A and B are shown apart, each in its own frame.
Chain A
Amino acid sequence: MPAIFKRLWQVNWAEQWQYRANLIMYILYWLVSPIIYLAVWTSIATANGNVSGLTANDFITYYMILLIVDQLTSNIIIHIFAYKVQDGTLSGELIKPIHPMLTSTLVNDIAFKTLNLIVLTPIWIVLVLLFKPQFDSVSISGILLSIPAILLGYMINYLLSGTITSLAFWTTRVYSIHEFYYALILLFAGQFVPLQLMPEVIQNIARFLPFQLFMYLPIQIIQGKLPTNAIVQGYITGILWFAVALMVFRLVWREGVKRYSAVGA
């Protein structure tokens, strides 16, 4: 098994480098939205002294950490995979003795992510010099404690995106369904606004959804802003969602492949 991943890594890593110009454009595009939120909230907090107790620095550190956490927990499965179903190139992969989505696509996504992080690092440093965040509340233990949450967030997001991408077996409109999923993430993962500023109702809903593990929960753990019971609760919610996402993914995938092979691969 590790041999497969090692080779897949070599191949995908080499492939990513072929598209480095694309990648830089992608990063710049992706940066726009969090930086706008950062700028907007920071200026509101500066003007008012604070927003519901959050200072300008709280917003800056929140969004600076978000840039990295979002990069770590997000994925590009829809772009790697959906078209293969539609143009039939998936056929070649289906008759190989490995799971296309859980091996080659996964490694492809991780290779993309790694290169992204390399490109992002200097940009991030420039942004730190520009916005001058004070990372006082960030501790090593907070960072260590957030790592499992980030991993869990990545896996859940991967399986849910994978499930949505698998809808390509039935419909050509997967891209718009995925856009909707992305909108849910913006709202419930705490990208528009840190979740604690949301109305009580939405906060309560968000607590039981998987999306907070994609950004809000790890960021708050890193910043040391969550009490232990909230962290425990977040982890339990995450593990349950992981189990659910895995089950749903397997089911949708299996039925999707059946359908693909029924209509003419």
Chain B
Amino acid sequence: MSPTIIVEQLSKTYKVPEREGGFGAAVRSFFKRRYKDVKAVQEVSFSIAQGEVVGFLGPNGAGKTTTLKMLSGLLHPTGGKANVLGFTPWELKTDYLRSMTLVMGQRNRLSWDIPAADSFLLAQAIYRIPDDEYRKTYKELDELLELAPLMKKPVRNLSLGERMKCEIAAGLLHRPKVLFLDEPTIGLDISGQARIREFLREYNRRTGATILLTSHYMADVTALCERIIIIHQGQLKYDGGIGNLSRRIAPFKLIGVMLAKSNGFDLSRYGEPVQNEEDAEKHYIRVKAGDVTKVTSRMLSDLPIHDITITDPPIEDVIERAFNE
């Protein structure tokens, strides 16, 4: 059987107008605009078989979203080919649009002013979902995402996380065969993230759908994907099993400590100090995964420690580091 998604030498170069600030530059640009070529995606090739769940990773600006937009048909590439379910996505054929979904994490499937329930019924009509199938799908979505309490409120009054749940559900009502998910768990709390993951895994198992997702959360990827594709600065850097990747590029953990007295201690003796903006109270160091036990016990005996945590480094850092080193 041929793969569900085939991408060959796919490239996208944006022409971005540029000018200096200031009045003179504004006038000059009125007569002659200068453009800069930004190579968002460069000759990326991969293929994904039916039923695979693939994590699509890379730092901000790596070209992930651009690739997803091309595969869903929103963007014309500047070069290369793509074939999804036998369609060329950017021809925007109705039969293609009916069998895939793109969830972008912004509001785009739900109407702002009316309750989500109405948008759902509209989606049912747009995708021509028979009543019994619609009820069945909705029931499944409701079980997994607990939609019922959200359905009657106007979408503008939902929280970010609630809206995300509804967006994902709205994007799946037509039981797409291919799912492109851009940051599907962004804005959700931990249990919300877990629920979405569980839901996607279950959806994949039941329907055999092919899923390509991007995420900032390592946990999303490790929980869902056996395979990951990494792009960096528009180029494909890694395509393979997740196990190999962590061995290859992420054999590190972050140890965070909160000290009773913060000055006078030199943490660089234990590992490489790193900044963590989200948690300024703690001091963080980066340690090889194999040394974690050894280092932690040394720190616990040497230092006046209030609190200690051991975490995976954020996925973006791992990738950024792996390709900059």
Contact = CB atoms under 8 A, between A and B. Distances in A.
A53 interface: no
Interface in B91-121: 92, 94-95, 97-98, 102, 104, 106-109, 111, 113-114, 118-119, 121
A31 interface: no
15 contacts: A4-B126, A7-B125, A7-B126, A10-B122, A11-B122, A91-B74, A91-B108, A92-B107, A92-B109, A95-B73, A95-B92, A96-B97, A261-B75, A263-B15, A265-B75
Interface residues of B, number: 32
Contact of A261 (B90, B113, B118, B122): B90
Interface string A93-117: 1111110000000000000000000
Nearest to B97: A97
A210 to B, nearest CB: 30
Interface of B: 14-15, 69, 72-76, 90, 92, 94-95, 97-98, 102, 104, 106-109, 111, 113-114, 118-119, 121-122, 124-128
Contacts of A89: 108
A257 interface: yes
B122 A7 contact: yes
B114 A15 contact: yes
A3 B128 CA distance: 8
Contacts of A93: 108
Interface in A212-265: 257-258, 261-265
Contact of A15 (B92, B97, B106, B113): B113
Interface residues of A, number: 26
Nearest to A15: B113
Given A15-B111, A95-B102, A265-B74, A4 B125 contact: yes
Nearest to A265: B74
Contact of A10 (B15, B109, B118): B118
Contact of B74 (A7, A97, A261): A261
B68 to A, nearest CB: 11
A3 B92 contact: no
Contacts of B69: 91, 265
Nearest to A103: B126
Contacts of A262: 75-76
B126 A98 contact: yes
A8 interface: yes
Given A15-B114, A89-B108, A261 B125 contact: no
A3 B129 CA distance: 11
Nearest to B94: A97
A11 B97 contact: no
A97 B107 CA distance: 18
Contact of B92 (A4, A11, A94, A264): A94
Given A15-B111, A92-B109, A97-B126, 6 more contacts: A6-B125, A14-B114, A92-B106, A95-B97, A257-B92, A265-B74
Interface string A24-55: 00000000000000000000000000000000
A97 B122 CA distance: 12
A18 interface: yes
A92 B118 contact: no
Nearest to B70: A261
Contacts of A95: 72-74, 92, 97, 102
Nearest to B38: A264
A95 B104 CA distance: 12
Contacts of B76: 258, 261-262
A7 B72 CA distance: 25
A104 B74 CA distance: 19
Most chain A C-beta atoms within 10 Å of own C-beta, residue among B69, B76, B92, B106: B76
B48 to A, nearest CB: 19
Interface string A159-202: 00000000000000000000000000000000000000000000
A262 to B, nearest CB: 5
Contacts of A258: 76
Nearest to A8: B122
A258 B98 CA distance: 20
Nearest to A259: B76
B124 A264 contact: no
The 3 closest A-B pairs by CB, nearest first: A92-B108, A7-B125, A97-B97
A18 B125 contact: no
Contacts of B92: 94-95, 257
A199 B202 CA distance: 74
A14 B155 CA distance: 13
A3 B74 contact: no
A264 B126 contact: no
A256 to B, nearest CB: 13
Given A15-B114, A261-B75, A97 B125 contact: no
Nearest to B96: A97
A68 B61 CA distance: 53
Contacts of B73: 94-95, 261
Given A95-B92, A263-B14, A263-B15, A3 B125 contact: yes
Contacts of A8: 122, 125
Contacts of A4: 125-126
Contact of B119 (A11, A18, A97, A98): A11
Contacts of B118: 10-11, 14
Contacts of B97: 95-97
Nearest to A258: B76
